[in-house]
């Protein structure tokens, strides 16, 4: 987790090079930090260490994010589409977690997940200038 702040710098530098505005940069940073945190915390475990590789590409309209890790096999696509069961409950009664996945799922189009050898590879397309669905 000590490299989490560098993910924001990575996104900011990418957005700066590609003329991507502040609002989209902040949304993309949120997506990257949420994925990174989930991989480290749930994939590798809080005491574990492992590799997380992030690649960003810009086609002039949308940003594609490829996230690769070597945590145990996990396809996050269902979690990115699922509403927490207790979403309508008052905050005091709701369980912890699940909202980050929901937010990521609303900010991106899930393109692909594959398990390649020992790696999880998740590809997401980030829609610029799009409000959450």
Specify which residues 120 forms β-bridges with: 69, 115
* CA–CA gap between residue 112 and residue 115 (Å, rounded): 10
Regions of the chain where pLDDT drops below 70: 46-48, 84-88, 93-98, 130-133
Answer for the pair 49, 108: CB distance below 8 angstroms, yes or no.
no
The pairing of beta strand 52-58 with beta strand 62-69: antiparallel
- From the number of C-beta atoms within 10 Å of its C-beta (0-12, 13-18, 19+), residue 32 rates as buried
Per-residue pLDDT tens for 80-97? 877 766 666 777 766 666
Q: What is the pTM for the complete model shown? A: 0.84
What are the structural domains, with CATH classification, of the chain? 4-127 (3.30.565.10)
């Amino acid at each position: 987790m000590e490299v989490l702040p560098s993910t924001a710098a990575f996104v900011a530098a990418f957005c700066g090079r590609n003329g991507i505005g502040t609002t989209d940069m902040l949304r993309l940073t949120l997506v990257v930090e949420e994925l990174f945190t989930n991989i480290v915390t749930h994939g590798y475990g809080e005491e574990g260490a492992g590799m997380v590789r992030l690649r960003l590409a810009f086609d002039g309209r949308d940003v594609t994010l490829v996230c690769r890790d070597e945590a145990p096999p996990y396809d996050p696509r269902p979690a990115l589409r699922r509403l927490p069961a207790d979403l309508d409950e008052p905050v005091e009664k709701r369980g912890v977690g699940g909202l980050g996945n929901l937010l990521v799922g609303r900010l991106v189009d899930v393109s692909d997940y594959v398990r390649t050898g020992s790696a999880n590879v998740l590809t997401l397309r980030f829609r610029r200038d799009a409000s959450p669905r």
